[in-house]
Amino acid sequence: NAGVTQTPKFQVLKTGQSMTLQCAQDMNHEYMSWYRQDPGMGLRLIHYSVGAGITDQGEVPNGYNVSRSTTEDFPLRLLSAAPSQTSVYFCASSRAGGSLLVFGPGTRLTVL
Amino acid sequence: KQEVTQIPAALSVPEGENLVLNCSFTDSAIYNLQWFRQDPGKGLTSLLLIQSSQREQTSGRLNASLDKSSGRSTLYIAASQPGDSATYLCAVSRSYNTDKLIFGTGTRLQVFP
């Protein structure tokens, strides 16, 4: 099993550009989520999904969109990139009902 | 609003020491608590998960305890090794959906030979 995969590993954007961060898991996990990690602020939840077709907002959803058309994929879209979105983004997944969270390796995003 | 605090922010110990990392949370209405390890430039690896009804969990040299009423958890690492050097994060969940976690800012541990 590849676990949770994320692409790209690194990305540089200009202010106002849009892009999609890809996340896929091959463990048949029901739950998937996106976090961002910033120095001194820890990880914060952006969006999450409890199954295909079901998504909801986390703590810091503004400026981001998600969709979950399949169990395996959970892409994160930046609509109009801003310097405040410079961060490391982690995708995670888990089985329903309380199980260990599996994280992807992360995408380091810089917005100029 | 739930807040999670980890003290100390950094810790440096010689190899072989037993050590304790602390995690405190302000709202005791949690569903579970997880401990993670993060190596520099890498993703997070889940170490232990404690359900709210449990008092502790063990995995190898790691033991995590939970005192929900006082809002505290500790991660005990026995016989520390240089390979244990990493940042350790705790996170709490208020619901059965464990992906909705509130994280602490971590304790950066260095174990020197």
Reported as a single tens digit per residue, the pLDDT across B42-69 is 889 999 999 989 999 999 999 999 999 9
Does residue B97 surpass a pLDDT of 70? Answer: no
The minimal CB distance from B46 to the residues A40, A42, A100 is found for A100
How many residues belong to chain B? 113
pLDDT, tens digit (0-9, with 9 covering 90-100), for A11-66: 999 999 999 999 999 999 999 999 999 988 889 999 999 999 999 999 999 999 99
Average pLDDT on B95-108 reads 84
**Above 90 in pLDDT, residue B91?**
yes
Looking at residue B100, its pLDDT comes to 84
> What is the rounded CA–CA span in Å between residue A65 and residue A33?
12
Residue B98 pLDDT greater than 70, yes or no: no
Q: Does A48 touch chain B (CB under 8 A)?
A: yes
Residue A84 backbone dihedrals phi, psi, to 5 degrees: -65, -10
Q: Which long-range contacts (CB under 8 A, 24 or more apart) does A3-8 make?
A: A3/A27, A3/A102, A3/A104, A4/A91, A4/A92, A4/A93, A4/A102, A4/A103, A4/A104, A4/B43, A5/A104, A5/A105, A6/A89, A6/A90, A6/A91, A6/A104, A6/A105, A6/A106, A6/A107, A7/A107, A8/A107
CA distance B80 to chain A (A): 23
A51 touches chain B (CB under 8 A): no
Choosing among B44, B103, B108, which should be mutated to test the A contact, i.e. which has the most A CBs within 10 A? B44
Q: Closest partner residue to A104 among B4, B43, B97, by Cβ?
A: B43
Burial annotation A74-89 (CB, 10 A radius, 16+ → b, else e): bbbebeebeeebbbbb
* Band (A99; pLDDT cuts 50, 70, 90): confident
Which residues of B are less than 8 Å from A48 in CB distance?
97, 99-100
Q: Is the pLDDT of residue A1 over 80?
A: no
Q: SS3 of B83, please?
A: helix
Q: Nearest CA to CA, how far is A16 from chain B (Å)? A: 27
Q: Which residue does chain B place closest to A104, by CA atoms?
A: B43
Interval A67-78: pLDDT, tens: 999 999 999 999
Q: Report chain B's C-alpha Rg in angstroms.
A: 13
> Which pLDDT score is estimated for A84?
96
